[in-house]
Structure 1
Amino acid sequence: MNIFKKCLVVFACITLSASMISCDDNAELRDQYNSLFTEVIAIHDELMPEMGKLTELQEQLQAQDSITSAQQEALDKLKESDNRMMSWMHDFTDTYVKDRTPVAKMTAAELQENIKGLKTELEEVKELRDFTNESIASAQKNLK
């Protein structure tokens, strides 16, 4: 084997190795992206049944003959929770569902940017879950 062929084989091996390493990096990033996305969706799915409770509790509070200030505050929190959920879902869908690049085709930079965004979304949806649960508890307390 002449020196040219040896160099070509070595170059091919280096290129293949570099390619495999970058694929592995992207695989880790894709796994991280998918894990975060799944976690965000799981909390969203946990919240969705609560949206019916928000509406039901709003109707119960509004049906009162007279509303105390505490009941009005509870009603306002229920409405805010509903509005925040609708706004969050709209924003999340626009950013991470509609017309997005498939995860398998994202570059490392795109994956890193989206991972950062999903971490923010995760914190937001957790705060939304907590606020919704507090709103429901407050309304239930003020209906007794």
Structure 2
Amino acid sequence: METFLKYLKVEAIGGHIIRISLACLLLFGGFTKLKLIGALEYNLFWSIILAAIETFAAFGLIIHYKKPVIGIAAGVLAILSIFLRVVFSIGWVRDHILHSQSFLDAFGAILGVYNNGLFHIALLFGAGIYCLGNSYKAYIKERITKPWPH
């Protein structure tokens, strides 16, 4: 039984690491912050919207420990942010590398050349889904353990 409990602690620690790492990536490693500073050939309004989504997602992932409902919303925003990053990357390859009009050609180029990046994108999606599910589990646990209303 002691060994089993140790594995549960390791899983909990790993979950905290995943949540904090995803929050840090969204808060400090987001490409939109760099776009706001330098590459202004993109629409500034959409850059600010993407930066806001990433920032709210990062803070919501941390606030999950106090309010799981906010963690659920942050998980959805994190997954949306990662999806928008993928779309931006495909568009960037299309415009700056291939100089074509086809998203499918750009996606094929990313699959063929940048498969290591796709692995990281899959890890990010997995982390976002994990955080969303973990927040939902905490919300359900909170609802079940609350006193019954009179």
TM-score class, shorter-chain normalisation, is 0.3 to 0.5
Q: Which has the larger radius of gyration?
A: 1
Q: TM-score, normalised by structure 2?
A: 0.37
Q: TM-score, normalised by structure 1?
A: 0.38
